[in-house]
Amino acid sequence: MTIRNRSFVTSAVLMAGAMLPGIAARAQDLPKTKAHQQFSVTQGFSQSTLPVLQRSGALDPNVVSSALLEKLRPGSAYQSTKAGARLRITSDQFSLEVAGDGTAAEYQDLAVAAQAHSLGQPLSAEMPAAELEQKGRAFIASNLASQIVLAAEEELVAVRTDYRTEGGQELATGAITQAVVANRIVFGRTLNGVPVVGNGSKVILTFTNDGSLESFRYDWPAYQTADTRTATQTVVNASEILSRLQKVVSARNGVAAPTSGVIVPSSQSAVFPLELTSNTQLQALDCGYFDGGSWARQTQSIQPGCTYLALSQDTNGTRTGYAGAVPAGAQFALDSAWRETQILGEK
């Protein structure tokens, strides 16, 4: 008898230390992503000001679903239901969900997913990042071109690879086996060279080991400059960003913020982990336009911000991960859908 576990490990889960027995954690931020994280913690932004943006380009979810199904499942029978503003399409072979504003969708091929286990390969046979990026770009060009639209000043960039693994233990012998069963590529977007951080502007594609697409998820609005008196924000430096992180993490930890600030690393190499408080270390920082994504957001304002991942460990050895984003504007707008603006806006 064999007991099996399975997990799709992302870099966020890996950094938070969420490891399961028998599960191999395999995730990789691509070189440009790592370089930008290092720049974020040592410099913050290369610009002194950035415009405030708004999500735009809302579409009818029925039109979006029809366009996707025409490419992915032409002629297939399905059922259509509403869950709030979301549109859900289901059949015995696939599922599709489209956000109410039409800018985000999630698709899964159930038949391909069912085959993933039988196609398992040794961990050393995971799909290389370059191959994953090539397959991802080809799929987007062939099937998502009408949804993943880039303006002249925008670029689609590969951000990260993740690998879903299965681990098992043979009870009779105690032998442990591990295999990679799916390969994921995450794409993001830059606007005039500035990355969009957070869940917005992401395309995530998962392939089984034979190259079949198992699933995809995207959140891809159009952006326009906000038409307000505060449509531009002066961004703060790396020292202030780290100071804000200290306050946010302390509030989330339920402890008093340190009286001394974080020393900004002088080198862009080996900057992580970085101590924020006596028991909390910063594992990753990405600065850019923060977009929480259409699934989570209640407002449409896209402000400069930095996503973070921090890991805390108490005296008993219990570890807790914290993820979110801090605003980076010297004067930022409070946002009910952005918790950190509420924490930092408290007097």
pLDDT (0 to 100) of residue 7: 53
Q: Domain spanning 2-32+53-225 has what CATH number?
A: 3.30.310.160
pLDDT (0 to 100) of residue 261: 81
Other beta carbons less than 10 A from residue 286's beta carbon:
24
pLDDT (0 to 100) of residue 331: 94
> Taking phi first (over 0 means left), then psi (-120 to 50 degrees means alpha), and beta for anything else, what does residue 44 get?
left
Helix (H) or strand (E) holding 137: helix 129-143
Q: Which whole-number Å values give the CA distances from 122 to 154, 168, 174, 183, 215, in the listed order?
A: 38, 13, 18, 13, 22
Domain ranges of the chain: 2-32+53-225, 233-345
Using a cut of 0.75, tell me whether the model's pTM lies above it: yes
pLDDT (0 to 100) of residue 315: 80
Residue 10's nearest CA partner among 216, 120, 161 is: 161
Residue 132's nearest CA partner among 159, 112, 98, 105 is: 159
Low pLDDT (below 50) residues in the chain:
1-6, 9-25
Whether the upstream peptide bond of residue 128 has omega within 30° of 0, thus cis, is: no
> Taking phi first (over 0 means left), then psi (-120 to 50 degrees means alpha), and beta for anything else, what does residue 293 get?
left
Residue with tokens 């090539």: 134
129-143 helix and 61-72 helix, angle to the nearest 10 degrees: 110
Summarised one tens digit per residue, pLDDT across range 93-137 is: 999 999 999 999 999 999 999 999 999 999 889 999 999 999 999
Q: Helix, strand, or coil here: 146?
A: coil
pLDDT (0 to 100) of residue 228: 67
